[in-house]
Structure 1
Amino acid sequence: MSTHRNPLCRGPYGEDGTRSDGPDCSDPAVFEVTRHHRPALRVCPVHLGPSLLLATAVLWPPEIRLVGRASAPSA
């Protein structure tokens, strides 16, 4: 799966609104975290844990879906 097709990570806080640049993370999103009355938050593996603890309106117990694959590290 090409990383160009995956949306970029929005974690760990899940900035909403008119900001389209998002956080400084440029990794592809691999997980989608469901939130209450907000769009689902798509995050990379590094930001999955912090998003569960820090993002606004995350459901508990959390609902997490796999939406992509992490790219293999380059040798």
Structure 2
Amino acid sequence: MNYRDTQPQPIIGQAWTGKHVILLHCTANNQFIGLYKSFHAPTEPPRFNCSETLSQLLSIGYHIHAVTAISPNHIQYVLVL
């Protein structure tokens, strides 16, 4: 075994192989509040209309994992890719 075999090999340029997570926050009347994502999660620019933002995320492959009412007027969608 030589020195090169025992050293960590660079991984720059390798594709991300884990899960991507997005938290989408909206009002009950379809207004966008905020979007929180894992560092490498692919996204589209969010829209003022929450259903349009949700539609964009679903069209690039995200799946709704959970929907939670944080308050009577605040909904959180958990999306996973």
TM-score by length of structure 1 reads: 0.30
Is the radius of gyration larger for structure 1 or structure 2? 2
More strand by share: 2
TM-score by length of structure 2 reads: 0.29
